[in-house]
Amino acid sequence: MLGKVLFATDFSECTENGVAFLKRIKEVVEEVIVVYVVDEKEITRIATNIAWLGETTKEYEEELRKKLRERAEDEMKKLKEDLEKDFKVGTVVTEGHPAEEIVRIAESEDVSLIVVGSHGKSNLKSALIGSVSEDVVRKATKPVTVVRREASI
Ligand SMILES: Nc1ncnc2c1ncn2[C@@H]1O[C@H](COP(=O)(O)OP(=O)(O)OP(=O)(O)O)[C@@H](O)[C@H]1O
Ligand SMILES: [Mg+2]
């Protein structure tokens, strides 16, 4: 048995392959913890550009933060409903540096496996894997499965 598995998603295309992989190994999975991290760096980047355009950022930044979180909660709800057909499911929506949060949660939840997609929202054709999945592989103390976007599951 694998016990708990952490599934990191940015709700991009690769999520589908990750879900398909989890369903293939469902017999050995006790619980799936789905994690989405609102990327702090993205918020700063958008807010910095807004400031550059001469707007005041404080209110905008708070609104942006709220909207991104709401959108993530909606996406998470849909994904949870799908996964609940096969697993006990826990969800985490948090803010920060995605890879750091994923690794931290994997440790605090004491999962036996982390599942990430090879690519995410940027989905660069030339990149072997994205920077978040690379960072998770580098920093995780738990085994990591990278599900390729090209995988047929
Ligand atoms: N914000 C996030 N929260 C949770 N998991 C994430 C997040 N961003 C990426 N991931 C995980 O990492 C995988 C690869 O995404 P990643 O962001 O590394 O690639 P990319 O978006 O194509 O490239 P980059 O972000 O480096 O420009 C995703 O399929 C997902 O499993
Ligand atoms: Mg990305």
Q: Give domain status of residue 53, yes or no.
A: no
Q: Which amino acid is at 97?
A: H
Predicted model pTM = 0.96
Q: What is the pLDDT of residues 72-91, one digit of tens each?
A: 999 999 999 999 999 999 99
Q: Give domain status of residue 54, yes or no.
A: no
Higher pLDDT, 25 or 153: 25
State yes or no: pLDDT of 138 exceeds 90. Answer: yes
For residue 8, give the nearest of 151, 85, 141, 111 by alpha carbon.
Answer: 111
Q: In the structure, which protein residues have their CB atom closer than 6 angstroms to any atom of ligand 1?
A: 8-10, 14, 35-37, 39, 98, 116-117, 119-124, 130-133
Quote the pLDDT of residue 92: 98
Q: Give domain status of residue 24, yes or no.
A: yes
Q: What percent of the chain has pLDDT over 70?
A: 99
Q: What is the pLDDT of residues 10-60, one digit of tens each?
A: 999 999 999 999 999 999 999 999 999 999 999 999 888 888 888 777 788
Structural domain boundaries, residue 137: 3-37+74-147
How far apart, in whole angstroms, are the C-alpha atoms of residue 68 and residue 118? 23
Rounded mean pLDDT of 110-115?
Answer: 98
Quote the pLDDT of residue 102: 98
CATH number at residue 91: 3.40.50.620
Q: Give domain status of residue 31, yes or no.
A: yes
Q: Give domain status of residue 118, yes or no.
A: yes
Query: Which two three-digit tokens encode residue 3?
Result: 């016990």
Contacts of 150 (CB under 8 A, 6+ apart): 118
Q: Give domain status of residue 105, yes or no.
A: yes
Q: Give domain status of residue 67, yes or no.
A: no
Ligand 1 atom nearest residue 118's Cα: 14
Residue ranges with CB less than 5 Å from ion ligand 2: 120-122
Ligand nearest to the CA of 37: 1
The strand pair at 144-147 and 29-39 is best described as unpaired
Q: Give domain status of residue 7, yes or no.
A: yes
Query: What total number of domains does the chain contain?
Result: 1
- Rounded to the nearest 10°, the torsion over CA 21, 26, 27, 29 is 110
| Length, in residues, of the chain | 153
Please work out, in degrees rounded to the nearest 5, the angle formed at the alpha carbon of residue 46 by the alpha carbons of 48 and 38: 125
Whole-number mean pLDDT of the chain? Answer: 95
